[in-house]
A and B are shown apart, each in its own frame.
Chain A
């Protein structure tokens, strides 16, 4: 067994990271196609408020972040679909409200001294077996729902008005997509942190789009790129003593540059 897998915390980190590495781009794929790439950022800031609320209420920050993310994601979708706000305006509303609420709640909880840095930028090395169980169950559930509804989601991102005319349940599909995004953010929080999660949902997809040959291959390549980013990032972080969250995202960025260079050479 390689040295980096000899300890429990690294095995837990790799197992949890692998699930997040697959889930984030799978869900991010549809958000990127809908020009909602930054929704992960918006939900991430609400998740930060959820973490703070968890400290204030004395409950698990991961669960409170999940609840806050769900509320934030559904709020963005509601604002967007009711045309009360354009997509970016809805995002900005939730984004700034989330971060402001987080700061106020953290202060109210007297938790400014806790390791908030771990939630902002990830703390994969402190993942517990309970975390792995939660990420495993919900993450695989999220992947299952994404796979099951792939054609329907694809139909909506290709032509939302056409899907509406055809009588498809657009509100249900959009809310499901928003819930999956919230789930992804909450589960990925321990891996890359709320400030970097959007990168793992977007960069592998953008990289895959430039070299893929179909929607399906784009999604599968993006999931592969997400998995490679997490595994390579963790390995690099372990041996070079780097922060895992940032290293994972930098590997994803490098994969994008590689894909862009490949596209340029083929053109």
Chain B
């Protein structure tokens, strides 16, 4: 089975800017729960964009499911939660409507949702514990509940790889714990590969099997337990 993600010798610079990533090697096997952490500006979001095929590396190669990431033909296998602090639209989108958008890659673009798609939407909503709030506008939910709805959107497409970019943005500490618990449970139940990208990893430290610290290059890659004590705050990680 091909690796879910493989970066080999990846370097990246924005046009006219300094090098953001340098000699990055990361391989993520199917079924792993990996946290990617690092200081703000350390390159983890750029690394994520390279993994998703939204940016092409200046050097090296990025593969997704064994194919070059920028022209991966199995994008429906990806579930993605973008970094956000809420909805960017004014219309009161309900949990069900947001989650249904995650079904587009599998269910097609035209017409209403088919019965099978509606089933997967309902299942994803139930999995994140928002069944009772399915028809409530997102704007009337807490930050933690909103993020759970976005996780459900990512799950609705039955992903093999779930990529979460700063999922605890705008979520209170209690909500962060609940979100982490839920991810650990989903990982156990579904066996989905999870890439959890955050500037701090404390909340998932006890769940993830592997921690990758990025500071322009990979400065640590291993079980969180083997991380030097002084490095637990990634903003102080030394290259």
Contact = CB atoms under 8 A, between A and B. Distances in A.
B94 A166 contact: no
Contact of B92 (A155, A205, A206, A213): A213
Residues of B in contact with A, size category: 35 or more
A251 to B, nearest CB: 22
Interface stretch (A126-134, A145-153, A184-192): A145-153
A220 B159 CA distance: 32
Contact of B111 (A33, A148, A168): A148
A205 B90 CA distance: 10
Nearest to A33: B89
Nearest to A217: B92
B78 A166 contact: yes
5 contacts: A166-B104, A168-B109, A213-B137, A215-B89, A216-B97
Interface in A142-194: 148-149, 151-152, 154-155, 157-159, 161-169, 173
Contact of B82 (A151, A152, A162): A162
Interface of B: 52-54, 72, 75-76, 78, 80-82, 87-94, 97-98, 100-102, 104-105, 109-113, 135, 137, 153, 157, 163
B111 A166 contact: no
A161 B54 contact: yes
A212 B91 contact: yes
A216 B96 CA distance: 11
A158 B137 contact: no
A159 B104 contact: no
B54 A157 contact: no
B92 A159 contact: no
B109 A214 contact: no
A157 B97 CA distance: 12
A165 B91 contact: no
A155 B105 CA distance: 10
A151 B112 contact: yes
A218 interface: yes
Given A166-B78, A167-B105, A168-B105, A214 B100 contact: no
Given A212-B91, A219-B91, 13 more contacts: A29-B91, A151-B101, A152-B104, A152-B109, A154-B101, A161-B54, A162-B81, A165-B53, A165-B54, A165-B80, A167-B75, A168-B105, A213-B94
Interface string A39-54: 0000000000000000
B106 to A, nearest CB: 9
A209 interface: yes
Nearest to A219: B91
A214 B78 contact: no
